[in-house]
Amino acid sequence: MSQSAEKVLDHFELFREPEYKEMFANKKENFEYAVPLEEMKSQVEYAKTWEYREKNFNREALTVNPAKACQPLGAVFAAVGFESTLPFVHGSQGCVAYYRSHFSRHFKEPTSCVSSSMTEDAAVFGGLNNMVDGLANSYSLYKPKMIAVSTTCMAEVIGDDLNAFIKTSKEKGSIPAEYDVPFAHTPAFVGSHITGYDNALRGVLTHFWDGKAGTTEPMVRKPNDSINFIGGFDGYVVGNNREVKRILNEFGVDYTMLCDPSDVWDTPTDGEFRMYDGGTTLEDAANALHAKGTIVMQSICAEKTAAFIEEHGQEVARLHHPVGVAGTDEFLMAVSKLTGKPIPESLTKERGRLVDAIADSSAHIHGKKFALYGDPDLMLGLTAFLLELGAEPVHVLSTNGDADWAAKVQALFDASPFGKNCHVYAKKDLWHMRSLLFTEPVDFLIGNTYGKYLDRDTGTPLIRIGFPIFDRHHKHRYPVWGYQGAMNVLVTILDKIFDVMDADTNGIATTDYSFDIIR
Amino acid sequence: MSATAEARVNGAELIEEVLKAYPEKSAKRRAKHLGVHEEGKSDCDVKSNIKSLPGVMTIRGCAYAGSKGVVWGPIKDMIHISHGPVGCGQYSWASRRNYYIGTTGIDTFGTMQFTSDFQEKDIVFGGDKKLEKIIDEIQDLFPLNKGISIQSECPIGLIGDDIEAVAKKKSKEFEGKTIVPVRCEGFRGVSQSLGHHIANDAIRDFVFDKTDPEKNAFTATPYDVAIIGDYNIGGDAWSSRILLEEMGLRVIAQWSGDGSIAELENTPKAKLNILHCYRSMNYISRHMEEKYGIPWVEYNFFGPSKIEESLRKIASFFDDSIKEKTEAVIAKYKKLTDDVIAKYKPRLQGKKVMLFVGGLRPRHVIGAYEDLGMEVVGTGYEFGHNDDYQRTTHYVKDGTLIYDDVTGYEFEKFVEAVQPDLVGSGIKEKYVFQKMGVPFRQMHSWDYSGPYHGYDGFAIFARDMDMAINSPVWKLTKAPWAK
């Protein structure tokens, strides 16, 4: 027995003790009828080959370890970004349990969201009663200022009509007639979480701007000097939105952040649970119509929303998750162009500091090979930054990026000497990435938490940038946008490079001549 | 009025107060799920296993979660296809901490996400052809898998796909390979619970009934037992198995944490099935009793009092040699548990706990808290049935607040009023209560710690509860200048 009260061993150490190791061996030997060791080892090796890679890339139907989630997750993200808004997902209830857990594991914060809890009878008769009762319950219990409705695939397959259902609910007195209930159909079998964000955000704007589902006159745009900012589905939303606000305040522009969950996903521990905190006010969401223009920070993620805003007469600046010097330059110039305000000296100075930092560290990144995966906009931003650092983004992969996205990544490769041997992979998953890392190894991998399995299997050190990050804490509090954000990304990459360098040179009397004290 | 009688009155008043926030119709329905335990009653006087109200923020999940997430997912040498759109498999990917040993992606597949990633065309034209191709591709890329299960997501049952036919066809094509269609669409039933039942039935129909009993060369002994309903969260089944082996029993199968398909297939050869999570696996235990004559016994490996009781109960099915060894096991761990209690009880004595979990834990962990001098003042089940609440009466004290399928609103109000020293529930609840300044432990995932089962696990449990309650952070929640 190894356990003691004095030094409590948990799963990290307990199962390495001899009595457990022996138990595992016996279990395997006598009861698991496991694959013979040699056969297992030979498959391990085979899975590293080009031949396996070809088979793997010939897959047409099976998806293994994808880097995307489904639409309603994005719809919930969009909804919680509005003042005192309760996301209401019409369909099966298990989905909502999943979205809430998923966000809480990433942000380490509560995520309030309700379901209409449809079951078999609703599958047969439709979910109208669930909507009618559900809205009444949510309204009474949680007193939201707005309820934003989206759908699970169940409600989509049976064809429930949100507009009609919400109308009927109002007629039946579940909620007041004038109460704001924007909605969006968000089928899980179309697109991904970024599509759901787009649909839900457009749903909110449509509600306020286009006459609240036919219950009021559509608003008439009276252009003013303000701008709107749309961040998109962003795992760094807490840090990023605050940084963007700081930047826009430096400019001295009037702005509306459309969808801002940076407060509700960062509430204090002070004895009070705030179910709602901050967010875009409903008034601001409506008045955002009058803005001069809108900055869309992730335009693949907010494609339809951007088009919708343009149709309403605004100029739209479409960016792709800008990270780095040129990326941030583009963002600031877009703000300047839209508002007519010069880029403030303070930000120019920040730019210089970022360039200074890159110059200081460039020798350690230059020529290093990277593989990266994630949402399409993020991949565009990171690819551009890596090229800017003189690194080679050898494999750039996205499960929810399509051919248009791939062409954009290719254009980045083509514009840089460092992009010469780089390839882009659209609609591929992390099992594809595994083959890429075995057949064409790189120095570092950039991705979300699930990349740790690739790190383990292929020995490619993982730099965690993306969503979700479950196994490191508080990363979402640090921006990746703006010059300061780029600095954070730079340091994140450098820290891993130096850690790997130290681990690789600490062999006593073998390699530790390079175990330098100054790097 | 006695203290417990007073607790009963307070509890009843609290429930009445909380229900006022609901629309009348909903208040009436929720009232049936809330109660205060009265000593001597045969159940906790609450209704359970009924549809959740829409819009109230139920904590429950779905049938898919019960089947893929709980029962099937941990079987390590099979590939479990999340059949339908991408989300379900994504959100449940490796999050339940069902530990296992194996080379992932080669001979085991537990922490992987296999999905058919349904697109609109699959909904319109059906997904059976795609499923066939998926099975072919799995065979090609993961040839060492020992079986495949098809875990249905909501659309499958709605669009009329015939996954049973696909499974049958492909099984034949691959020489009788175990391919299991599971009808665990998320809209079925009222919670995870039906998913457990459907998953159990699928094991009966597609593992037991389709496996040649001679398939695995197996020599039985009189001491063969199977661990049923332990998902090896943080290694729970391992810290349980070690005790059973020490008492002279031979554990021939683990259901399903760190389990393999061969273990499932061999279970009908067991002499006794020992059942931890009654809720999720009583069905298959009853089936094995009826069909193969294998008795089953429930046990509880949380905390020394219940462990000791359970070890003796299990031993009672065997001869004196086992009984003697069992006493030796209890004696062997006595010092450890005494030391653990001596160290932690003074720090935890009298602390009040409120629980809300699934499966067996709303009752099973109560003894472990009591061993540490703590008191459970409120508990409830996410997806329990009446037989769970009946079993709960043996654990809870008079005056304990009982809340079935508690809503976010109710739970917050109950904790606010009762002011427990610790709340034990899930990830969705964790941060709500921590914001309120209430120490919290996740009691599904062990908050990334564990194991909590067995004597080794009890030491970890005690350490973790102490760590939560006595963390210095809780003294910092109020700024010194705040009034």
DSSP-based three-state secondary structure for B33: coil
Alpha helices in B62-189, H assignment, sequence order: 63-64, 87-91, 120-125, 128-141, 154-159, 163-173
Question: Which candidate in A96, A113, A153, A238 is catalytic?
Answer: A153
Give the nearest chain B residue to A2 (CA atoms): B456
What pLDDT is stored for residue A1 in this prediction? Answer: 81
Position A147 scores a pLDDT of: 98
Top residue of A20, A41, A98, A438 to mutate, by most chain B CBs within 10 Å, is A98
Residue type at position B386: N
Residue B1, pLDDT score: 59
* Contact check, Cβ <8 Å, A32/B77: yes
ipTM for the whole complex? 0.98
Chain B residues near residue A157 by CB distance under 8 angstroms: 123, 154-155, 158-159
A189 touches chain B (CB under 8 A): yes
**Which amino acids of B are annotated catalytic?**
62, 65, 96, 196
Residue with tokens 């980045």: A412
Secondary-structure percent of chain B, ordered helix, strand, coil, rounded to 5? 50, 15, 40
* b/e code A377-386 from CB counts within 10 Å (16+ = b): bbbbbbbbbb
A465 Ramachandran zone, left/alpha/beta (phi>0; psi -120 to 50): beta
pTM summary value: 0.98
Rounded to an integer, what is the distance from CA A300 to the centroid of its chain? 13
Q: Which amino acid is at B425?
A: S
In chain B, the N- to C-terminal Cα span, in Å, equals 36
Q: ∠ at Cα B400 (B399, B406), nearest 5°?
A: 135
Residue A200 C-alpha, separation from nearest chain B C-alpha, in angstroms? 17
pLDDT attached to residue B6: 83
Interface test with B, best of A1, A3, A130 (most B CBs within 10 A): A3
Place of tokens 């193969």: B292
**Inter-CA distances, B151 with A199, A317, B182, B184, B329, Å:** 28, 43, 5, 6, 41
* pLDDT score for B482: 86
Which chain A residues touch B51 with a CB distance below 8 Å?
A: 117, 119
Per-residue pLDDT of A181-240, as tens digits, reads 999 999 999 999 999 999 999 999 999 999 999 999 999 999 999 999 999 999 999 999
Q: What percent of chain A has pLDDT over 90?
A: 100
- Tell me the nearest-neighbour CA distance from B438 into chain A, angstroms: 8
**C-alpha to C-alpha distances, A174 to A118, B59, B109, nearest whole angstrom:** 17, 23, 47
- Nearest CB neighbour to A188, from listed B87, B93, B343: B87
Q: What is the spatial distance between Cα A440 and Cα B408, in angstroms, rounded to a whole number? A: 49
Q: Does A355 touch chain B (CB under 8 A)?
A: no
Contacts A268 to B, Cβ<8 Å:
435
| Cβ–Cβ below 8 Å for A32 and B262 | yes
**Residue A168 C-alpha, separation from nearest chain B C-alpha, in angstroms:** 16
Which residues in chain B touch residue A66, judged by CB atoms under 8 angstroms apart?
86, 90, 113, 115, 117
- Measured in angstroms, the CA of A438 and the nearest CA of chain B are apart by 14
Could you tell me the strand order of the sheet in which A444-447 lies? A423-426, A392-398, A369-373, A444-447, A462-464
Chain A residues touching B408 at Cβ < 8 A: 112, 142
CB proximity under 8 Å: A 470-489 to B? 470
CA nearest neighbour of A424 among A433, A415, A416:
A433
What residue in B sits closest to A269 (Cα-Cα)? B435
Search chain A and give the residue with CA nearest B90: A69
> Measured between CB atoms, which of B112, B340, B450 is closest to A10?
B450
Of B52, B92, B253, the CB nearest to A98: B92
Per the listing, tokens 């159940």 go with B43
Residue B188 has φ and ψ, to the nearest 5°, of: -75, 135
Average pLDDT, chain A: 98
Q: Number of C-alpha atoms within 13 angstroms, CB side, residue A497?
A: 20
| Contacts B189 to A, Cβ<8 Å | 119-120
Closest CA to A320 of A481, A201, A486: A481
Q: Residues for chain A: how many in total?
A: 519
Read off the DSSP letter of residue A290. G
For position A146, what pLDDT does the model report? 98
Query: Could you tell me which of B365, B98, B332, B337 has the C-alpha nearest to residue B238?
Result: B98
Minimal CA–CA distance to A188: which of A321, A73, A34? A73
Contact A374, A424 (CB under 8 A): no
pLDDT on residue A322 = 98
**Residues in chain A within 8 Å Cβ distance of B158:** 123, 154, 157-158
Best B49, B57, B336, B446 residue to mutate vs chain A (most A CBs within 10 Å): B57
* B169-198 confidence digits (pLDDT tens): 999 999 999 999 999 999 999 999 999 999
Provide the shortest C-alpha distance from residue A5 to chain B (in Å): 5
* Chain B interface disruption, residue of A32, A77, A238, most B CBs within 10 A: A32
The verdict on A21 touching B (C-beta cutoff 8 Å) is: no
User: Which portions of chain B are predicted below pLDDT 50?
Assistant: none
Q: Cα separation of A509 and A299, whole Å? A: 53
pLDDT of residue B4: 78
Residues of chain A in contact with residue B78, where contact means CB-CB under 8 angstroms, are none
Q: Identify the DSSP state of B58.
A: B
> Judged by CB atoms within 8 Å, which residues 203-262 of A form the interface with B?
none
Provide the Cα torsion B344, B349, B354, B356; round to 10°: 30
Chain A residues with beta carbon closer than 8 angstroms to that of B88: 94-95, 98
- Which of A268, A83, A375 lies closest to B482 in space, CA to CA? A268
CB contact under 8 A, B339 and A4: yes
Instruction: State how far residue B415 is from chain A, nearest Cα, in angstroms.
Output: 12
**B7-14: long-range pairs with CB below 8 Å, 24+:** B7/B36, B7/B377, B7/B398, B7/B399, B7/B400, B8/B36, B8/B38, B8/B398, B8/B399, B11/B36, B11/B399, B11/B401, B12/B36, B14/B401, B14/B413, B14/B414, B14/B417, B14/B418
pLDDT at site A389: 98
Closest-CA residue of A relative to B260 is A32
> Who among A55, A72, A115 is closest to B54 (CB)?
A115
With beta carbons under 8 A apart, name residues in chain B contacting A10: 234, 449-451, 460, 463
User: Distance (Å, rounded) from C-alpha A7 to C-alpha B436?
Assistant: 31
Residue A126 contacts B, CB cutoff 8 Å: no
**A517–B contact, CB cutoff 8 A:** no
Q: How many angstroms separate the first and last alpha carbons of chain A?
A: 46
CA distance B6 to chain A (A): 27
Whether residue A44 and residue B103 make contact (CB cut-off 8 A), yes or no, is yes
